[in-house]
Amino acid sequence: MTLMPLPRSTLLTVLNLAFAMIVGAIGFGVGFAQGQLAQTVVLFTVITVAALFWFANYVAVAFENRLAADAESGEADADRRLVGARSVWAANRVLIVAMALLLLAYLIITATVPPFRTLSNLIAFLVLEAILVFAFKVSGVFVHGRSAFIGLIVLIALVVISAFTIEGFLSATNIKAVLLFASFLGIACAGQTLVALMGGLDLSIPFVIGAANIGLLYLIGLGVPPWFAFALVIIIGGLIGFLNGVMSYKLQGQALIMTLGMGFAVAGLVQIITSIGSQFSGNVFGTVPPWLSNLAAMNGVTFGLSVPPTILLWIILSVLVVVALRYSAYGRYIYALGGNRRSAMLIGISEFKYWVLAYVISGAFAALTGALLLGWSGGGFIGVGDPYLFTTLAAVVIGGTSLAGGYGGYGFTVIGVLVLQVLSSFLIGIGLKYEWQQFIFGLLILPMVALYSRSPHIRAQV
Amino acid sequence: MTESRGAQDTYLLIPILLLAVLVSIAVIRGPNLVSLPGFGSAIIVAAPLILATYALMSVALAGRGTVDLAVGPLLAFINVSIVSLNGLGLVTSPLGVFVVAIGIGVIYQILFALVIIVVRVQPIIVALSGFLALSGINRVILPRPGGVAPDWMVSWGLGNTIFSPVLLILVLATGGWLLFTLSPFFKHLRMMGYDERAAFTAGVRSDIVRIGAHVIAGIFVGLGAICYTALIASGDPTQGTTMSLTAVTAVVLGGVSLAGGRGTITGALLGATNLFLIGYVLATFQFGSVQGFVTQLLYGLTLIISLLLAMLVPVVGRYISFISPFAAFMVLGIVVAGIVLEVSTAQTYVATGPIPVGSGDNIERYLIFPPTGDAQPFGIWLSPLQRLLFIATAGILALVVMMRVVVVEAAARRFGAFGHAVVACFILLCLAIIAIYSHPARGGLMP
């Protein structure tokens, strides 16, 4: 699939353009009705139209390809299809059961909790049902990128529901906050995605983030020039990744445990170093240089725009990683190795080199996240990495990258990261505490993964 | 399998070696360990970790890379459930608590197995999901450490004797697993973990076997949670993550393959004991404020090194196949027992000055030192010479038996029942000696 898909039929293209324009026009009108700045309204309208047009074209192309493929293989399947109500049930039973369960849950809650009976909740419920239909009926059309499609739909639905239920969800401040946290998570996930594409896992990320966080402040406190300390921390992160890669190479099945041990050791060691001669065990105090604060703090400024540079950094980095994975030899070799080690090695790809490189990148990005988080918080704290222990994994998995390797990509992970952050923002918005969020995240990962990443039955593997 | 015989047991060499080193250091650094209360509290502190490690081992055996990272939060979940139910006055009786604890553990693990079987996602994702969900719900049930354990449980955690109910639970759990290993079900489990496709082709009903492995893990977690509740006598929702990570380390250290199919309960026991001892030894050094960090660092290094060493085991095993884990255990055990005896009895004998030449005969001069107290260990009065002869005879007999067992065992394919019996006798003997010598009447070390 190309970067700018265009359907073969001109009619569809025109229809898509019209659709995008209409939605854009509605947004345009609403924007002026709310009394926004004219520049802002124009900017958002252009973005909306472009994004919608691209998305509609993408869907159209996917349908066209599917129809063409069906026309070729259609004859063979034709006689196997059942007819009547039975076939409807057989083909859709999971969907019907899921929708019925959701309806039941909604009715029970509505009947028992009076404050729940609001219009926004009804809309939210209808949107959820629509997602289910969409996820089951439309996603089948996409052979590749199915998970990304589901992720996008969930993302859009979450935004719609949140916008209805939470006051100020679509305000600039909140969007900025969501994007900023998504940037931290996204940068930390870049390495995890690469490693997962090769069939490994890197659990040292949270520890490296925490260690980089306090280590950077410690180095600055020692009098090292901040920019040099910043670079040094990232290089050390890369070195830790290098050790991870080298030591787990022969033990790829147990890379999970190996990196976990490495993370323990690194976090322990850095804390010992920073605690020597300090009465605050584990905590480091110091002054963060202004440029670092500006880089990641909520009130940061990029080229005059009041957007933290971290967001821009993440966008650039995402484009780089996605393009590199798709078009560079390095990216293609990672897919080759993840898909089939043996074949890849037979055509002369060094497994060791790419395995280690993936871990080096992972370590360096984790250290970068830790350093940026220092700019955000303004104080060193080892526990800052703790939430990333499983959220990096969750974002990769929700995005649809296979942990077995060979399938997925950073674009998927970006969607996963956004879903996680918007969901988290939504849960905070409706007043749930962190514990409940964690609980819901945990329960949510399973169905998301089950939608697209099921392994075949053992029968089918023999 | 092309590996040499005893490949299952070869992996035990590392934890045995480490255990010997750690016990020696622990006894020298903290002699309090060698006393009834010291040993009793050690068992109580280590029991939850040991049982969590058993649970991990049981599911790891089932293959597909099942590392149940959620074992810690699950343990904490059962812990806070027990405490909350007790606080509400709903479940307070011993039977009720056991039913609740084991019930929750088993139900969770069955759900885990069903998701793996029916939904067919990777077990690590299920574990991750369970980890997040349980960690969250624990804080909801009990926002901060607190609450009280049932009354009858309080006396369990005192640890002033070795023979506490916690030890009974441990022994029953270990014995139960050992009995289970005799069943064909266990062979199916190991086969499935080693190569699921081959097992399926051979007619093993892999779904049922997998559920079985998880049910056993659930029982272990439930028992572990009871021991944990007895230990802290309250509820603590925060320790789940630490427990998970420590238990995973212990499993790896114990030579259990996370890829499935290889793992013994002896290994899990040794691994968990080692991790407990690392913590114990570190606690005897005064690191001040960096104590926790040093522990963290050492856990990490232990994990890495044991993984790397486990990789070397097949290579090393090719050259030194004549060293069996049993022989290593025996030799190191004797050395360590010597150190333990030396430490625990160091103050039992009075320091005797040089005996002047010519006073008394040679036997009296060289072999017999008068003990401080008059009390005889067994209430039988023996002359020093008689006692020496008895002990020497018993020692020679024991040596002969042991040599014989070592020779037989070295040629055997797996570690036989007789070997287990000898090891058990040996451990009991050590315990008895420690108990006798640390008795207050014998001038034991504990006040």
Confidence of residue A279 (pLDDT cuts 50, 70, 90): low
Q: How far is CA A426 from CA A169, A170, A188, A429, B164, in A?
A: 8, 11, 22, 5, 50
Closest C-alpha to A15, from A23, A141, A150: A23
Q: What is the pLDDT of residue A86?
A: 65
Residues of A in contact with B56 (CB under 8 A): none
Q: Which of B119, B294, B307 sits opposite A251 (nearest CB)?
A: B307
Q: Which two tokens stand for residue B158?
A: 């005192």
pLDDT at position B269 is 93
Ramachandran region, residue B397 (left: φ > 0; alpha: ψ -120 to 50; beta: rest): alpha
What pLDDT score was predicted for residue B212? 92
Q: Find chain B residues with C-beta within 8 A of A433's C-beta.
A: 139-140
Q: How far apart are CA B155 and CA B164, in angstroms?
A: 9
Instruction: Kindly state the tokens that stand for B209.
Output: 């076997």
Read off the pLDDT band of B80 (50, 70, 90): very high
Contact A451/B at CB under 8 A: no
Pairwise pLDDT comparison (A241 vs A35), residue with the higher score: A241
Q: Name the percent of chain B lying above pLDDT 90.
A: 20
Q: What is the DSSP string of A56-89?
A: HHHHHHHHHHHHHHHHHHHHHHHTT---SHHHHH
> Which of B189, B222, B181 is CA-nearest to residue B51?
B222
Q: Is B232:B224 a contact under the CB 8 Å cutoff?
A: no
**B307 to A268: CB separation less than 8 angstroms, yes or no:** no
Structure confidence at residue B323 as a pLDDT band (50, 70, 90)? low
Residue in A250, A257, A446 closest to B248 by CB? A257
**CA A353, A354, A355: angle at the middle one, nearest 5?**
95
If one compares A184 and B433, the residue with the highest pLDDT of the two is A184
- Inter-chain residue contact A446 with B301, CB threshold 8 Å: no
pLDDT at A310: 87
User: Which residues, numbered 376 to 415 in chain A, qualify as contacts with chain B under a Cβ-Cβ cut-off of 8 Å?
Assistant: 390, 393-394, 397, 403-404
Spell out which residues of chain B touch residue A442, defining contact as CB-CB under 8 Å: 128-136
What string of H, E and C letters represents the secondary structure of chain B? CCCCCCHHHHCCHHHHHHHHHHHHHHHHHCHHHCCHHHHHHHHHHHHHHHHHHHHHHHHHCCCCCCCCCCHHHHHHHHHHHHHHHHHHCCCCCHHHHHHHHHHHHHHHHHHHHHHHHHHCCCHHHHHHHHHHHHHHHHHHHCCCCECCCCHHHHHHHCCCCCCCHHHHHHHHHHHHHHHHHCCHHHHHHHHHHHCHHHHHHCCCCHHHHHHHHHHHHHHHHHHHHHHHHHHHCCECCCCHHHHHHHHHHHHHHCCCCCCCCCCCHHHHHHHHHHHHHHHHHHHHCCCHHHHHHHHHHHHHHHHHHHHHHHHHHHHHHHHCCCCCHHHHHHHHHHHHHHHHHHHHCCCCECCCCCCCCCCCCHHHHHCCCCECCCCCCCCCCCCHHHHHHHHHHHHHHHHHHHHHHHHHHHHCCCCCHHHHHHHHHHHHHHHHHHHHHCCHHHCCCCC
pLDDT value at position B175? 92
Q: Among A438, A442, A450, whose Cβ lies nearest the Cβ of B119?
A: A450
Cα distances from B4 to residues A64, A430, B421, in angstroms, run 59, 61, 25
Q: Give pLDDT tens digits for B361-404.
A: 554 544 444 444 444 454 445 555 666 777 777 877 777 777 77
Nearest to B125 among A445, A457, A462 (CB): A445
Which tokens hold the place of B410? Answer: 């070295």
Q: What is the pLDDT of residues A83-127, one digit of tens each?
A: 556 666 766 777 788 888 888 888 888 777 777 667 777 777 777
Report pLDDT digits (tens) over A18-39: 888 888 888 888 877 777 778 8
List chain B residues with CB under 8 Å of A441.
132-133, 136
Which chain A residues touch B131 with a CB distance below 8 Å? 390, 442
User: Are B76 and B240 in contact, with CB atoms under 8 Å apart?
Assistant: yes
Q: Show the domains of chain B with their CATH numbers.
A: 5-321 (1.10.3470), 345-442 (no CATH)
Task: Tell me how many residue pairs between chain A and chain B have CB atoms under 8 A apart.
Answer: 172
| Contact by Cβ (8 Å): A402, A142 | no
CA distance B433 to A421: 61
Q: What is the pTM of this model?
A: 0.76
pLDDT at position A266: 92
Of A87-91, A134-138, A210-214, B153-157, the range with the highest mean pLDDT is A210-214
If 0-12 CB within 10 Å is exposed, 13-18 middle and 19+ buried, where does residue B352 land?
Answer: exposed
Q: Is A10 on the interface with B (CB under 8 A)?
A: no
Q: Which tokens hold the place of B57?
A: 């081992």
A259 touches chain B (CB under 8 A): no
Taking CA–CA distances from A439, the nearest residue in chain B reads B133
